[in-house]
């Protein structure tokens, strides 16, 4: 088979070279390994087999097609021809495979192949097709199907592209010449194995003379040494990539590279002034900020961090300086109070030093700077100052009103030395026990004092400048009230003394102690004795224990103390005799005299109550006080009998009442079997429709059963029945509707009542819910008036009285047909 002749000179050259190669191999057919099959002369028409040497039936070349063909006519690809084709039109050519009929077409008569669409090598580089020669009449193959490839030949139709652009890069400032910054890379979609369409070179369009780029690798380097970030910190480069090795006619693409110079510590801190001056008020509180200074550093970040320190000055310990980490300011703060009158100015030398020093740039140092700071203290009008912030004073409890206790003193710290006036803060002396002299500051008593009520007074004294009353100083005076013996001792607690009837003479029945609100420096010493009126009694005696002590519970003490347990002088109460009896005297009252050891000595008489009790053998009281005597009367058995009788009577009365309440009257008279409307009133809740005790509806449906045959029926009433039935055709009650049954029942009962001579003489009110044609007066309802044509005369309504006056006005003296016109 002959390969198709491609258009163009290069196609011709390629075809000649291929033909020459095939001719050297002995034939113009394809190698058997390529898939060409040859028909054997000894084989059947259809079977095919491969022979080592045979005559090729197919002759063709490998096909090449240029991409991006822009002509108006289909692009000629090549020609297929079979030796079986004698040119008589009996053979036709069929093409199949990738792009057959959609991209590639074949002339079935000549075997010419054309491309009908533009091809893009970057989309698909080659197409695999199958060709076959068949009989035109039978469509049977005359040659075996063979496969061939159409390759798309590349042209330079794609420019280089930076897939990772635009780029961001950084390089330290002051970097040496040739320092690598970043590497860029561009890709070209053209065939790198064919020509120079995909061979790219790089160049820098914008960014010189600061940076350069290597043409083959795309590495960007610094082109100038010692570039300073503080001068310019950012550069924008434009890099170009061009194919065809940069030759004319090549395609190119560009990208941008933003290069930022990163900071290094190449600038030392510098104060903008060699000296600073600040003024502060002498009233500035401690730890307040006096001033803020800053050393300028052109670097940024950690390279601009610095530390400050006070090198020396004339106010040691007065000031401190720290670094504000956010602003890198030096903050000067006050450590001690200022006093204009003592020192009015301070001079300081302050040093600022970089924290992070780069050893590569030490030649640019030193990385520190020194400045002077002068702080001037400005005078303010200060409040008076007390010579002693806390004045301690003492005063006797019995001091008379106006007694001088002590003196407070204050002065004006300012140079004006204004006069001072004193006063007491009455919030600290609400009861006004003290006064202070406004000029001298002498504190005196204004009321009698009571140490037991308040032993310490803490007063706040105001010192006020006479020239400026707004300037007020405060001081404290702690006044302690000294004790005197002005309180007599009393019982420590309220004693409850119990005396057993079986007590023996000389038995201790109570140990007593005393308390005194006074607090003598030498401690308390109490003396106990029975009061003179009972000193010689025959029942009890008192023994002063003197050195003996007793522990008193604080919860029972009636005065304030800080100790948990206290020891007190005690005395014992003893019996002089035995045989005490409650019947004789249940309670003894014993006056006890208690005296303290103060000067002058004070005493008090306290009464001790002794109750006589009935005790067991262990001395535990069973009952105390007067004995309750039992009065004579009924015995216990008689009382129980009376109580039983009363309970029995109550039970009988209760049963009688209960039985009366449960008894009920019959609702229906069984003797009369009188069936009528009954009104039954009871307090029980009814059962609704199921409650048939009062009125059973079944009774109305069985009238014939309950009818009493003894009732007289010898008189026929003149009142006609509600319904007129033919003779012998009166239906049974069971076959009538409910409303008819009720109506018939009512009429039957009415007839029985009219003709019954034995009916009881009582009035009976029967209420019926029916009206209409059965009534003698017929219906008086106006609802049926619209449908009636009666000519009845209603003039008689005028004679019925004032209640029917409205009806007489509506219906009287007028035509019945015009009433509702």
pLDDT tens for each residue of 102-127? 888 888 888 888 888 888 777 887 88
| Angstrom distances, CA of residue 485 to CA of 146, 387, 526, 606 | 143, 36, 13, 19
Query: Band of the pLDDT at 562, cuts 50, 70, 90?
Result: very low
What are the b/e assignments for 452-467, b being 16+ CB within 10 Å? Answer: beebebebebbbbbee
Once rounded to an integer, what is the mean pLDDT over residues 186-191?
Answer: 83
pLDDT at 286: 93
Which range (242-256, 367-381, 622-636, 801-815) has the least confidence? 622-636
pLDDT at 590: 93
- In tens, the pLDDT along 776-817 reads 555 555 545 544 455 667 777 778 878 787 787 777 665 444
- In tens, the pLDDT along 411-435 reads 888 777 889 999 999 999 999 999 9
Is the pLDDT reported for residue 559 higher than 50?
Answer: no
Q: What is the DSSP string of 652-687?
A: HHHHHHHHHHH----SS-TTTT---------SSPP-
Once rounded to an integer, what is the mean pLDDT over residues 581-586?
Answer: 89
pLDDT at 446: 93
Is the pLDDT reported for residue 566 higher than 50?
Answer: no
Angle CA(283)–CA(284)–CA(290) in degrees, nearest 5?
A: 145
Closest CA to 201 of 147, 165, 134, 251: 251
Residue 532: Cβ-neighbour burial (10 angstroms; 0-12, 13-18, 19+): exposed
Q: What is the percentage of the chain residues whose pLDDT exceeds 90? A: 33
- In tens, the pLDDT along 12-57 reads 444 444 444 444 333 333 333 333 333 333 333 333 333 444 444 4
Q: What is the percentage of the chain residues whose pLDDT exceeds 70? A: 74
pLDDT at 812: 65
Task: Please state whether beta strands 167-172 and 252-262 pair in parallel, antiparallel, or not at all (unpaired).
Answer: parallel
pLDDT at 54: 43
pLDDT at 687: 55
**Sequence-separated (6 or more) residues with CB below 8 Å from residue 672:** none
Predicted structure pTM score = 0.45
Rounded Cα–Cα distance for residues 622 and 615 (Å): 5
Q: Higher-confidence residue: 99 or 691? A: 99
- In tens, the pLDDT along 638-682 reads 888 899 999 999 999 999 998 888 765 554 444 444 445 556 555
Is the pLDDT reported for residue 552 higher than 60?
Answer: no
Angle CA(417)–CA(420)–CA(425) in degrees, nearest 5?
A: 145
Is the pLDDT reported for residue 567 higher than 80?
Answer: no
CB 98 within 8 A of CB 150: no
Beta bridge partner(s), residue 106: 113
Closest CA to 746 of 725, 763, 770: 770
- In tens, the pLDDT along 240-251 reads 998 887 778 788
pLDDT at 2: 39
Query: Band of the pLDDT at 267, cuts 50, 70, 90?
Result: confident
- In tens, the pLDDT along 696-724 reads 555 555 544 444 555 444 444 454 444 45
Once rounded to an integer, what is the mean pLDDT over residues 159-173?
Answer: 91
Query: Band of the pLDDT at 151, cuts 50, 70, 90?
Result: confident
pLDDT at 811: 74
For residue 200, what are its two tokens? 């790219």
Stated length of the chain:
821
pLDDT at 491: 92
What are the b/e assignments for 552-589, b being 16+ CB within 10 Å? Answer: beeeeeeeeeeeeebebbbbbbebeeeebebeeebebe
Mean pLDDT of the chain: 77
**Sequence-separated (6 or more) residues with CB below 8 Å from residue 524:** 489, 516, 568, 569, 596, 597
pLDDT at 691: 53
Beta bridge partner(s), residue 348: 313, 373
In the 8-state DSSP scheme, what is residue 706?
A: H
Q: Higher-confidence residue: 192 or 395? A: 395
Is the pLDDT reported for residue 766 higher than 80?
Answer: no
Q: Higher-confidence residue: 494 or 197? A: 494
pLDDT at 10: 40
Which range (46-60, 323-337, 385-399) has the least confidence? 46-60
Task: Give the position of tokens 């204050």.
Answer: 410
pLDDT at 680: 56
In the 8-state DSSP scheme, what is residue 176?
A: P
Q: What are phi and psi of 636, to 5 degrees?
A: -65, -40
């Amino acid at each position: 088979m002959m390969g198709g002749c491609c258009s163009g000179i290069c196609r011709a050259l390629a075809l000649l070279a291929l033909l020459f190669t095939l001719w050297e191999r002995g034939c113009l057919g394809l190698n058997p390994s390529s898939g060409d099959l040859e028909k054997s002369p000894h084989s059947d028409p259809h079977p095919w087999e491969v022979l080592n040497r045979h005559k090729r039936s197919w002759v063709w070349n490998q096909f090449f097609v240029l991409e991006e063909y822009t002509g108006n006519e289909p692009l000629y690809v090549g020609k297929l021809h079979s030796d079986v084709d004698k040119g008589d039109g009996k053979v036709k050519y069929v093409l199949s495979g990738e792009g057959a009929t959609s991209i590639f077409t074949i002339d079935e008569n000549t075997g010419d192949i054309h491309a009908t669409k533009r091809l893009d090598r970057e989309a698909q580089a080659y197409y695999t097709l199958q060709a076959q020669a068949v009989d035109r009449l039978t469509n049977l193959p005359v040659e075996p199907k063979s496969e061939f490839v159409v390759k798309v030949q590349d042209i330079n139709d794609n420019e280089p592209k930076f897939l990772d652009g635009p780029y961001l890069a950084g390089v330290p400032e002051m970097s040496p010449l040739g320092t690598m910054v970043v590497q860029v890379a561009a890709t070209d979609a053209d065939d790198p194995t064919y020509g120079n369409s995909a061979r790219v070179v790089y160049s820098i369009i914008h960014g010189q003379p600061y940076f350069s780029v290597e043409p083959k690798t795309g590495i960007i380097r610094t082109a100038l040494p010692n570039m300073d970030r503080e001068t310019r910190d950012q550069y924008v480069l434009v890099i170009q990539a061009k194919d065809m090795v940069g030759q004319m006619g090549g395609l190119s693409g560009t990208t941008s590279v933003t290069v930022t110079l990163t900071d290094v510590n190449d600038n030392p801190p510098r104060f903008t002034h060699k000296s600073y001056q600040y003024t502060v008020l002498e009233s500035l509180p401690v730890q307040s900020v006096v001033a803020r200074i800053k050393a300028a550093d052109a670097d940024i970040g950690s390279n601009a961090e610095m530390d400050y320190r006070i090198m020396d000055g004339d106010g040691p310990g007065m000031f401190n300086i720290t670094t504000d980490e956010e602003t890198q300011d030096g903050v000067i703060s006050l450590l001690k109070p200022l006093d204009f009158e003592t020192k009015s100015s301070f001079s300081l030398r302050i040093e600022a030093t970089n924290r992070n020093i780069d050893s590569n740039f030490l030649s640019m140092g030193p990385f520190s700077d020194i400045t002077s700071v002068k702080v001037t203290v400005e005078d303010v009008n200060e409040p008076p100052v007390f010579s002693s912030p806390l004045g301690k004073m003492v005063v006797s409890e019995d001091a008379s009103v106006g007694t001088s206790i002590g003196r407070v003193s204050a002065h004006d710290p300012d140079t004006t030395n204004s006069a001072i006036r004193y006063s007491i803060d009455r919030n600290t002396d609400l009861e006004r026990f003290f006064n202070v002299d406004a000029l001298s500051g002498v504190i005196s008593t204004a009321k009698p004092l009571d140490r037991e009520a308040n032993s310490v007074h803490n007063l706040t004294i105001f010192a006020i400048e006479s020239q400026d009353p707004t300037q007020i100083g405060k001081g404290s005076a702690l006044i302690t009230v000294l004790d005197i013996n002005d309180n007599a001792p009393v019982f420590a607690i309220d004693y409850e003394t119990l005396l057993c009837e079986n007590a023996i003479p000389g038995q201790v029945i109570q140990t007593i102690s005393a308390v005194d609100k006074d607090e003598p420096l030498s401690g308390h010493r109490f003396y106990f004795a029975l009061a003179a009126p009972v000193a010689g009694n025959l029942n009890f005696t008192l023994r002063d224990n003197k050195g003996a002590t007793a522990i008193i519970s604080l919860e029972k003490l009636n005065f304030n103390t800080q100790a948990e347990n206290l020891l007190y002088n005690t005395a014992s109460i003893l019996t002089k005799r035995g045989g005490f009896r409650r019947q004789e005297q249940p309670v003894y009252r014993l006056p006890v005299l208690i005296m303290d050891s103060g000067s002058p000595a004070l005493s008090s008489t306290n009464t001790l109550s002794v109750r006589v009790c009935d005790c067991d053998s262990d001395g535990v009281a069973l009952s105390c006080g007067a004995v309750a005597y039992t009065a004579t009367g009924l015995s216990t058995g008689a009382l129980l009998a009376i109580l039983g009788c009363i309970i029995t009577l109550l039970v009988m009365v209760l049963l009688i009442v209960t039985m009366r309440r449960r008894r009920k009257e019959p609702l229906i008279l069984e003797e009369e079997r009188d069936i009528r409307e009954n009104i039954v009133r009871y307090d029980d809740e009814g059962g609704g429709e199921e409650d048939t005790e009062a009125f059973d509806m079944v009774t109305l449906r069985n009238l014939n059963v309950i009818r009493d045959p003894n009732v007289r029926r010898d008189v026929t009433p003149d009142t006609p029945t509600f319904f007129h039935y033919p003779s012998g055709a009166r239906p049974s009650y069971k076959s009538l509707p409910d409303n008819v049954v009720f109506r018939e029942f009512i009429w039957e009962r009415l007839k029985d009542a009219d003709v019954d001579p034995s009916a009881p003489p009582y009035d009976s009110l029967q209420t019926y819910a029916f009206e209409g044609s059965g009534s003698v007066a017929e219906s008086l309802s106006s609802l049926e008036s619209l449908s009636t044509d009666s000519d009845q005369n209603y003039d008689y309504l005028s004679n019925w009285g004032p209640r029917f006056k409205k009806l007489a006005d509506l219906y009287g003296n007028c035509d019945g047909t015009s009433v509702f016109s």
